[in-house]
Amino acid sequence: MATSTSKHMKLRPTVEQKLSGIKWKVEYTQRSGHASDLAREFVQEDYTIVVAVGGDGTISQVVHGYMLSDGLSKGCSIGIISTGTGGDFVRTTQTPKDPIKALDIILNNESTAVDVGHITCSKSNAPSVQIEQHFINICSVGLSGAIIKRVESSSLAKYLSGGLVYWIYTYLTALTYRSPRVKYTLSEDATPAKDEKQIKLYIIAMTNGRYFGGNMHIAPDADISDGKFDVVCLHNLSLAQAISKGSPALKSGNLMSLPPHQAFTQRDSKVTMSPVNPLDKVYVEADGEIAGILPATWEIIPNGCRMILP
């Protein structure tokens, strides 16, 4: 098990009883990205199940480590015990919030193939450096990236709950956000010269799961096993339109309520995007954590991992 905090192990006596006779161990994360390192170690040590105990960020990091260590070919599966603030991915998978019920599902060891997202983007503090990251739920750019950047840079988390800090900066960022102009392609075989388009970006999300941002039903038709992203985009919105129309549409997933020149959805396996002005720093978030900045390329890895789900 890779867990983000020791408080999750207050259930340890019950866990030990259920895991009697099974080889297992638990490790606590000590820093950002540590869950990825732990997952890699578990796969390399030939554990058949790696359990992520935490929220969307912990699950995402475990998936990243699993992918880097080629967990699929080694017969390893991922289990989830959700204890985090957002819990967006488990809304899609319908994994129970009760940790003991989630553990019972894991012990049944009936795994299913799940798609994995992959992003290549520029490093936030060193734009000339390219980084690669896997994600399992949703990766987005625009307002959402600006919000997460402010949350990660804030000291409020020392005094307030993570959920409250997120909603404070969601409100503040939405009021001050200025849409950057970006160029993008949406096609498996697209070439910039042929298919590139430009928009003033409010938000674009490459969705594998259906929820993000704390229960926003952004992609009602997304399927974690169909080999495609559901790409959701809002663009060319004024501040008033973003607040009155854009936010409600994102929360409900009803983008059809907006005209085509302000919103679109499309199923695709590859997306590229870059800022029109190369000096614009446009942040990319993956599963609730900053991955980097544009330019970026997203690709889906069909059946990239196996997960034990209800």
Q: Which of 62-71, 140-149, 185-194 has the lowest mean pLDDT?
A: 185-194
Q: What is the pLDDT of residue 3?
A: 59
Contact yes or no for 2/47 (Cβ under 8 A): no
Residue 41 contacts residue 16 (beta carbons within 8 Å): no
Amino acid in position 255 = L
Per-residue pLDDT tens for 149-187? 999 999 998 888 888 998 999 999 999 999 999 999 987
pLDDT, tens digit (0-9, with 9 covering 90-100), for 239-276: 889 888 888 888 888 887 888 889 999 999 999 999 99
Helices of type H across the chain? 12-18, 34-44, 56-68, 88-93, 99-108, 143-153, 162-176, 192-195, 239-241, 247-252
Q: Which residues pair with 28 in a beta bridge?
A: 3
How much is the pLDDT for 222? 97
Q: Are 48 and 77 in contact (CB under 8 A)?
A: yes
Phi (first) and psi of residue 18, to 5 degrees: -70, -25
CB 40 within 8 A of CB 69: yes
143-153 and 162-176 helices, crossing angle to 10°: 130
CATH number corresponding to 117-304: 2.60.200.40
pLDDT tens-digit series, residues 89-123: 999 999 999 999 999 999 999 999 999 999 999 99
For the stretch 298-307, pLDDT in tens is 999 999 999 9
Does residue 210 surpass a pLDDT of 90?
A: yes
CATH number attached to the domain at 2-114: 3.40.50.10330
pTM above 0.85, yes or no: yes
- The closest of 12, 76, 78 to 45, measured between CA atoms, is 76
What is d(CA 258, CA 256) in angstroms, rounded to the nearest whole number?
A: 5
Ranges assigned E (strand) in the chain: 2-3, 27-28, 49-54, 77-82, 111-123, 126-135, 138-142, 181-186, 197-207, 229-235, 263-268, 270-275, 283-286, 289-308
Domain boundaries, the chain: 2-114, 117-304
